Amino acid sequence: MIYDWLFRLTGSETAAAIIQSLLPLFLFILPFALFAVLLERKVSAHMQDRLGPMRVGYHGILQTVADIIKLVQKEDIVAKDNDRLFFDLSPVIVFTGSYAAFAVIPFSGIFLGSNIDLGLIYIVAVTGLVVAGILMGGWASNNKYSLLGAMRAAAQIISYEIPTLLIILVVIMVSGTLNLYTLSEWQTSYFWNWLILGGPVFGIEKLLFIPLMMMSALIIFTSTLAEVNRTPFDIPEAESELVSGYHTEYSGMKFAMFFLAEYANMFAVAAIVSALFFGGFQSPFGYLGDLFNLPWLIPIEQFFWFTVKGIFFVFVQMWLRWTLPRFRVDQLMTFCWKYLIPFAFVILIIVGLITVLV
């Protein structure tokens, strides 16, 4: 584990803990956000037969760096009637909420913030902080659009938490653990052992699980997509009706924090989906490190596969964004309550029966 290594390096528990808790931010989220913003713009551009940013660096590679520099320089505008304290606190809380989720996400076999037993439920819990932060920001902005966006975001996130939790329950029933690290270890490094293909247990239940798990993966991907407010579930920030929802009033670094939180959330969600159903940090075809007897290579490979899977699901999110139009509010609720939740429930019951009977 990386904590032990840091502990030996610094000689102090506190320093090791602080460094370790900052590692995902500087090693992963910031570079990922830089990359993902560029990827988003490039993917959207090419899907619309455009080129996207081309000016800054080769094919616009440095575009997001330039954007960040611009955001840092920007004036921090606080309107007279904004609720100053909560207006300032809200981006911090939203970012804390989405960053806290990274504490339990296993980046690789050795790079894991906290190996707690409650990993999955913990992620669901800290997501609640994001909802509170969004509501706080929307209310403190003292702006109708912001408030409407915040209310919509909160309503949407809490209703889509239900199918997410139901599917997490399904996974818990099949795997018997809430710990994301154990879950990833459990789905071994061969893709036919991943949960999407029925898990590592061979037998009649594996065959029965395959269609159910595919449905579950679809449902959890959809509902987590709604939880991070991405198109087609972006009615909280629907720019054509609400300017940009709860962060309309924000500028400069506070806006950048919302932005960073959004991209961190996107990756967190992609990581959860990949950890639940696609083997987490496990390679699909075994490890080169095992093949050539180089044990130090395995964590690096695991990190690579984790990143690849995460970025693939982030790409699918972007892909969906440029494919589907936005839902109406009633369609959104219909979709959640009439389709996702019953399906998740039926899957839960069937999987429960299978695990008990087989």
Residues that bind other proteins (CB under 8 A): 13-14, 43, 45-51, 54, 83, 86, 93, 116-118, 121-122, 124-129, 131-132, 135-136, 139, 142, 144, 147, 151, 154-155, 158, 161, 178, 218, 319-320, 322-324, 339, 343
Q: What is the closest distance, in whole angstroms, from the C-beta atom of residue 132 to other proteins in the complex? A: 5
Nearest to other proteins of 132, 333 (CB atom): 132
Tokens 């997509």 sit on residue: 225
Nearest to other proteins of 3, 122 (CB atom): 122
Nearest to other proteins of 77, 323 (CB atom): 323
Tokens 């995460």 sit on residue: 310
Q: To 5 degrees, how large is the angle CA 61–CA 65–CA 67?
A: 110
Q: What is the closest distance, in whole angstroms, from the C-beta atom of residue 26 to other proteins in the complex? A: 22
Nearest to other proteins of 35, 86 (CB atom): 86
Q: What is the closest distance, in whole angstroms, from the C-beta atom of residue 296 to other proteins in the complex? A: 30
Nearest to other proteins of 115, 297 (CB atom): 115
Q: What is the closest distance, in whole angstroms, from the C-beta atom of residue 293 to other proteins in the complex? A: 34
Q: What is the closest distance, in whole angstroms, from the C-beta atom of residue 205 to other proteins in the complex? A: 21
Q: What is the closest distance, in whole angstroms, from the C-beta atom of residue 75 to other proteins in the complex? A: 26
Nearest to other proteins of 163, 299 (CB atom): 163
Nearest to other proteins of 7, 190 (CB atom): 7
The answer to whether 36 and 270 are in contact (CB under 8 A) is no
Q: What is the closest distance, in whole angstroms, from the C-beta atom of residue 337 to other proteins in the complex? A: 13
SS (H, E, C) the chain: CHHHHHHHHHCCHHHHHHHHHHHHHHHHHHHHHHHHHHHHHHHHHHHCCCCCCCCCCHHHCCHHHHHHHHHHHCCCCCCCCCCHHHHHHHHHHHHHHHHHHHHCCECCCCCECCCCCCHHHHHHHHHHHHHHHHHHHHHHCCCHHHHHHHHHHHHHHHHHHHHHHHHHHHHHHHHCCCCHHHHHHHCCCEHHHCHHHCCCCCCHHHHHHHHHHHHHHHHHHHHHHHHCCCCCCCHHHCHHHHCCHHHCCCCHHHHHHHHHHHHHHHHHHHHHHHHHHCCCCCCCECCHHHHCCCCCHHHHHHHHHHHHHHHHHHHHHHHHHCCCCCCCHHHHHHHHHHHHHHHHHHHHHHHHHHHHHC
CA gap 193, 257 in Å, rounded: 38
Q: What is the closest distance, in whole angstroms, from the C-beta atom of residue 196 to other proteins in the complex? A: 16
Nearest to other proteins of 254, 306 (CB atom): 254
